[in-house]
Structure 1
Amino acid sequence: MTRTEQRSERLTQALRDAGVRITRQRAALVDVLAAADDHPDAVELHRRADEAVPGISLSTVYRTLTELEEQGVIHRHLFEGASARFEHAEAEHHDHMIDVETGEVIEFCSDRIEKLQAEIAAEMGYDIVHHRMELYVRKRSGR
């Protein structure tokens, strides 16, 4: 079974666990979300799902995303200046850079940053429970 198929099963099961009926439109949305390796917003997910199974309403997309978020299988990101973006909750911890000119979201991991954050928290008498880092960036000119 592929990773996308596993994600699709997990998302579908989360909806079933919440008592949500799996219609053809919802199944298409789940498949699109499972295949997404970017950070699409609801409108983009709607566009992709509608290509696969025409007729899905944007309100169904929003309701389904809300339910999946409540079930803990997707994360909603509210990056400055943009509509909410979504990604799979299964991903290992990572941070984000958001290109302020294109809106592109770039995932990155840095052991140095993670270590420094833990050191700072410890120096102040705390343990990190959860964190998110978002860097808003612009490409350097001439590169």
Structure 2
Amino acid sequence: MINQVTVVGRLTKDPERRATSDGTSVSNVTLAVNRSFTNQQGGVDTDFIPCILWRKMAENTVKYCRKGSVVGVVGRIQTRNYENQEGKRVYVTEVVAEQIRFLGGQSTTERNESANSDRSSIEEVLLP
């Protein structure tokens, strides 16, 4: 049997790191992936693919990526279900990442603005 998927898309929000009870890093991210064809109105639809990143992948993604960063994920599709607070069965399909590649990030302007804001906050701390 083969269960492998490759997804390339943009992060829909800044990734956040959580830790399991034993301290293992985990991050749940969503990738926005444009479809390769147009709809009846001439626009392009987008799919939002939930992905789970574990350990070093989660830590590095939180450290180096932001909302809008382009990433490629290779992993496997996993389905699970649980009962919510109303007693209804909820089914979830997600990609469990086995590899991640950082393909693109913020624009040069956004990087410069981010670097300048970091520098000014450092100066505020260092200067009396």
- Tell me if both proteins adopt one fold, taking TM over 0.5 as the criterion: no
Report which structure shows greater RCO (CA 8 Å, sep ≥6). 2
TM-score by length of 1: 0.20
TM-score by length of 2: 0.22
* Larger strand fraction of residues: 2
Looking at CA atoms only, which structure, 1 or 2, has the larger radius of gyration? 2
